[in-house]
A and B are shown apart, each in its own frame.
Chain A
Amino acid sequence: MNELDRLSALESDASTAVAAFRRRAAEQGLLDVAYAELDSPLGLLSLFVTPRGLVRLAYGPAEGELEEIAERLSPRIVAAPERTDELRRELQEYFAGERRGFDAAVDWSLIRGFATAVLQATARIPFGAVSSYREIAGEAGSPNAYRAAGNALGSNPVPIVVPCHRVLHAGGGLGGYTGGLDRKRYLLHLEGVLGK
Chain B
Amino acid sequence: MHLPPFQQLIDAHAAELHRFLTACVGPVEADDCLQETLLSALRAYPRLQHADHLRAWLFTIAHRKATDAVRRSVRHRTSDLDGVEPRVPAHSLADDELWAAVRGLPMKQRAAVVHRFVFDLAYREIGERMGVSEEAARQNVSVGLRRLRLEVTR
Contacts and interface: CB of A to CB of B under 8 A. Distances in A.
Nearest to B42: A30
Q: Which of A6, A18, A35: most chain B CB closer than 10 A?
A: A18
Interface stretch (B5-13, B71-79, B127-135): B5-13
A79 B35 contact: no
B35 A69 contact: no
Interface of B is mostly: helix
8 A-B pairs with the lowest CB-CB distances in the bound complex, closest first: A14-B18, A75-B3, A17-B34, A12-B22, A70-B5, A17-B31, A66-B5, A7-B117
Q: Which of B35, B45, B91, B119: most chain A CB closer than 10 A?
A: B35
A151 interface: no
Contacts of B34: 14, 17-18, 21
Contact of A3 (B7, B10, B17, B91): B91
Nearest to B113: A4
Contacts of B7: 35, 66, 77-79
A16 B93 contact: no
20 contacts: A10-B19, A12-B21, A14-B14, A14-B19, A17-B18, A18-B10, A18-B38, A21-B38, A24-B39, A28-B43, A66-B5, A67-B4, A70-B5, A70-B6, A71-B2, A74-B46, A75-B45, A77-B6, A78-B10, A79-B10
B22 A10 contact: yes
A18 B31 CA distance: 8
B122 interface: no
Contact of A7 (B23, B27, B42): B23
Interface in B49-96: 91, 93, 95
A3 B152 contact: yes
Interface of A: 1, 3-8, 10-14, 16-18, 20-21, 24-25, 28, 30, 35, 66-67, 69-71, 74-79
B18 A78 contact: no
- Interface range on chain B (Cβ under 8 Å from partner): 35 or more
Interface in B131-154: 145, 148-149, 152
Interface of B: 2-8, 10, 14-15, 17-19, 21-23, 27, 30-32, 34-35, 38-39, 42-43, 45-46, 91, 93, 95, 98-99, 102, 113-114, 117-120, 145, 148-149, 152
Contacts of A17: 14, 18, 30-32, 34-35, 38
A25 B27 contact: no
Given A21-B38, A30-B39, A7 B114 contact: yes
Contacts of B99: 7
Given A3-B98, A4-B148, A25 B91 contact: no
Contacts of B6: 70, 75-78
A13 B27 CA distance: 9
Given A12-B18, A66-B7, A76-B46, A1 B35 contact: no
A18 B14 CA distance: 8
Contacts of A12: 15, 18-19, 21-22, 27, 30
